[in-house]
Structure 1
């Protein structure tokens, strides 16, 4: 009963966090509000304490979130930006682990090299979810946000892989040298990617069989889709490869395959709405869980620092600031170096970094916010190492938590200032691209309709009145012609479409009110009302989505 009550309370807090941020007279990013609510729940007055199990956290929250991000990532754009993503998600992670690791080892006298490298490994991943909570992704130029999202997808895995390798080296389960680490990293990474692809392929085969047996059973098919990221993650972890990369590759595979496109309409509609809801809940719970851990992390760190005469609690706060500055300096320097290399040595196939201005490099640097993976990673560091307490573990947890909060606060302050005055032309580009695609699709549809008209007219078995057929075909073609005319008259199209959308929405609201009125007068049944309202909801959702 206690677990059930806790889940309900956390879900309620996630819902309320969105409401509170909207009604406050000043703007607070959603992740920060959720962290605050979590810390408030864990305050002694309320006393909600949850034993944080990092392995359970990783299994429960991370696979579906990364799967969803991978699903929404266009594979062509991802491959197009592969050089930039690899340079940040893998090469920069290696440099961060080694550079920041040795800095921590040099800076904190009583910390071991293994502890320093472990801390640097969990600090290397960035969090795109926290970034989107601070600033709307539409405010960031496309050439920056595409790379940041691809980086966040991949560096979660690379950071945690290096954490595992550091701990394994300390425990003596593997040789701690460069060649063995590199080979192990390749095995874990490539194995994880292949596992996600294979599991998704198996899912597609089983879905076809289930669809053939059960017909349009969208509930069963949707549940199987929800289980897919967990299956990919658990299978990959069981065979000793990266479960995080398996979840990412599974999402990217299903997004680019024909699995969902060929699925029944009811499954697609239900699946999209459920995934949207789960994303919101899981993202919120991640930051509320972070807030729930804050009081315990701070209090235990202070107590242990007081018991250890070699540790000064104010020194820990100073270490947090220095390490964060070092992370940002290293990230900015790496982006600036990539820009110079691209301009000087890669003129034919230059990277996007070559187009970045100094301001855009600063935006990409401060956008490297740390979040849920960093917290889960540092808390997954074992309590004991060869039957002895893991050296300086409480310091690692305190510093990692401090860097997460500091990166959020600094991002809140500086990112809006850096983005001020930047004109984003991507939105208009997408609208123009959408209208162009609709016009081309309309031409293909018109050509298909002429062939259909000819086939039906020559088919004696159909027994269709030619005049009625011509009227229906003409009506459909007339609607399709409007799409083509919109593209040919693009300058006035957007304003006309906005006006038409407002009028259609007004008509839909009037229809909905009349349906309720008819039900109140008992002229239609409740079953008829539900069906009619569902159709109107689909139409309204389409109009609202096109307006976003």
Structure 2
């Protein structure tokens, strides 16, 4: 009963913070961390964070949804940059940060320093999305950050496993570590792809192409990321990459036919709600751990032979080191890319320095790093005795996570303010307008053929047929610019009047529901229909319609 009550309280906090953030100029992740800290102190709520359970419950569905939604064309376009940051940058960070931390505090055992660097090396997809929500991030940069965060958990956790093995055995093999990383990554992607393919075929065989009862199909979609994750982990591959790969591949396998609008919309709505809940829970749980970590912090750093001042400076050095290593990697990668473009005779676009700084600031860490730090062995044996590895790792990781979230939340909007973006959103708007025009031209051709066919087949009510086709043709010709201003104004007037009618329908429906003259099921169905129609008339995509 305690677990049920606790879960309900946490979900309520997630929902409330999503409402409060609209009025409070604070990034949602920070607000949810603060809410979690308040639950722990002064209220006194406590939740033990089990690393393996945390990774299993939260990470597969979140990465699955991210993989589903990430633009596949942009992922392919930036695949070289994404893979270099997801794997090359992680390895560069592990070695660079591990050596930096050990050099700054020699009493920090080198294997432990590498383990801590491994836990902090991957960026957090949830945190990245949270802090960039209000910043005007260039589309290309956003897609690169999403792709990087989608894949670098796997490389970071593999490096962590190698570091933990080095702590336990005292030996390290670069060849073994590199081979393990390749096998784990490739195996995870292959298993996720295979799981998505089997799922798509199975659900089509069982449910057919019916759009009447999508609930069973939605339930299978929710199960898929967990199946891919568990199968991959069982054969010692990356469950994280398996879940992400399943999400990326599944939409391409035709799980929804074009006419299955209900199943597609409901699936995306359910996934959106699940993403909202799990995203919030991740940060609330992180906040719940912070007061306890802060209370035990002095004794932890004392047991490691550090003073309070040394620990604070070490946290700053690690945070600054993460930023500097990331900035150096991005800067060098950009220079190499520009040089290669210049040697091929391609036009070279000047990249603003502020954009490179923004890329470095956006590499925030989240609850995954804290869960990874919790897997470090509790004690490691050194020449000077036993070292409290886990306690020190959790303390430093928590402090660096909060530091990175604050730096990204405050720094990104400042760095990106007024910047001239290499890829402006106007290009996306123009591409969308061109696509709609092409679709409209196809519809016009089909309508004209339909009119000719009906005129040949029947001569009954020719004036009604001509009027009906003319109205529809006017609608599509508006998209391709074939109507004059008077027709456009007429279309706008009709739309405005339709919106007035919808408002009256909504008010009447609300009155009938409040008087209990219609039941909840009819009310929700009718209200959903009004919402969809109104959003279409207003030129906005209906909620949950993206797939």
Between the aligned partners of 1:367 and 1:225, the Cα distance in structure 2 is 30
TM-score normalized with structure 2 length: 0.88
Specify the alignment match of 1:36 in structure 2: 34
TM-score normalized with structure 1 length: 0.88
Specify the alignment match of 1:17 in structure 2: 17
Deviation at 1:107, TM superposition (A): 2.4
Deviation at 1:205, TM superposition (A): 0.6
Alignment of 1:83-232 (within 5 A): 83-136=80-133, 139-172=136-169, 176-212=172-208, 216-232=212-228
Specify the alignment match of 2:504 in structure 1: 510
State which of 346, 350, 373 in structure 1 corresponds to 2:368.
373
Between the aligned partners of 1:121 and 1:18, the Cα distance in structure 2 is 32
1:533 aligned onto 2:527: yes
Specify the alignment match of 2:254 in structure 1: 258
Q: Flag the 1:496–1:397 CA change in 2: closer, same or farther, 3 A.
A: farther
| Mean Cα deviation higher: 69-78 or 196-205 | 69-78
| Mean Cα deviation higher: 473-482 or 439-448 | 473-482
Is this contact kept in 2: 1:69–1:248, CA < 8 A?
A: yes
Q: Flag the 1:225–1:252 CA change in 2: closer, same or farther, 3 A.
A: same
Between the aligned partners of 1:57 and 1:399, the Cα distance in structure 2 is 20
Between the aligned partners of 2:346 and 2:68, the Cα distance in structure 1 is 25
Is this contact kept in 1: 2:112–2:389, CA < 8 A?
A: yes
State which of 321, 332, 340 in structure 1 corresponds to 2:335.
340
State which of 293, 301, 311 in structure 2 corresponds to 1:316.
311
Is this contact kept in 2: 1:126–1:370, CA < 8 A?
A: yes
- Unaligned runs of 5+ residues in structure 1 are none
1:415 aligned onto 2:412: yes
State which of 390, 393, 403 in structure 2 corresponds to 1:393.
390
Deviation at 1:288, TM superposition (A): 0.5
Deviation at 1:522, TM superposition (A): 9.7
Between the aligned partners of 1:167 and 1:121, the Cα distance in structure 2 is 10
1:269 aligned onto 2:265: yes
Between the aligned partners of 1:500 and 1:151, the Cα distance in structure 2 is 46
Specify the alignment match of 1:447 in structure 2: 445
Deviation at 1:452, TM superposition (A): 3.8
Deviation at 1:435, TM superposition (A): 1.9
Is this contact kept in 2: 1:188–1:240, CA < 8 A?
A: yes
Between the aligned partners of 2:347 and 2:326, the Cα distance in structure 1 is 16
Between the aligned partners of 2:495 and 2:287, the Cα distance in structure 1 is 42
Between the aligned partners of 1:350 and 1:89, the Cα distance in structure 2 is 29
Deviation at 1:35, TM superposition (A): 0.6
Deviation at 1:242, TM superposition (A): 0.3
1:66 aligned onto 2:60: no
Between the aligned partners of 1:499 and 1:159, the Cα distance in structure 2 is 57
Deviation at 1:455, TM superposition (A): 5.0
State which of 282, 289, 308 in structure 2 corresponds to 1:286.
282
**SS of residue paired to 1:139:** coil
Deviation at 1:339, TM superposition (A): 2.3
Deviations 1:471-526 (A, max 9, x none): 4433332322222228x999x99x99999876654442222113445678999888
| Mean Cα deviation higher: 71-80 or 444-453 | 444-453
Q: Flag the 1:379–1:540 CA change in 2: closer, same or farther, 3 A.
A: farther
Deviations 1:311-355 (A, max 9, x none): 223311111001111111111112221222223344256999964
1:483 aligned onto 2:479: yes
Is this contact kept in 2: 1:438–1:483, CA < 8 A?
A: yes
Is this contact kept in 2: 1:115–1:391, CA < 8 A?
A: no
Q: Flag the 1:390–1:228 CA change in 2: closer, same or farther, 3 A.
A: farther
Q: Flag the 1:70–1:137 CA change in 2: closer, same or farther, 3 A.
A: farther
Q: Flag the 1:497–1:156 CA change in 2: closer, same or farther, 3 A.
A: farther
Q: State the superposition RMSD in angstroms.
A: 3.4
Is this contact kept in 2: 1:112–1:391, CA < 8 A?
A: no
Is this contact kept in 2: 1:84–1:353, CA < 8 A?
A: no
Deviations 1:173-197 (A, max 9, x none): x973121111111000000011110
Between the aligned partners of 1:505 and 1:181, the Cα distance in structure 2 is 62
Specify the alignment match of 2:4 in structure 1: 4
Deviation at 1:200, TM superposition (A): 0.3
Between the aligned partners of 2:393 and 2:346, the Cα distance in structure 1 is 36
Deviation at 1:49, TM superposition (A): 0.6
- Unaligned runs of 5+ residues in structure 2 are none
Q: Flag the 1:541–1:423 CA change in 2: closer, same or farther, 3 A.
A: farther
Deviation at 1:268, TM superposition (A): 1.1
**SS of residue paired to 2:270:** helix
Is this contact kept in 1: 2:27–2:134, CA < 8 A?
A: no
Deviations 1:375-433 (A, max 9, x none): 121122243669x9775221111111111111111223222211111256733333322
Is this contact kept in 2: 1:84–1:352, CA < 8 A?
A: no
Q: Flag the 1:246–1:530 CA change in 2: closer, same or farther, 3 A.
A: closer
Between the aligned partners of 1:521 and 1:233, the Cα distance in structure 2 is 49
Q: Say how many residue pairs are matched.
A: 537
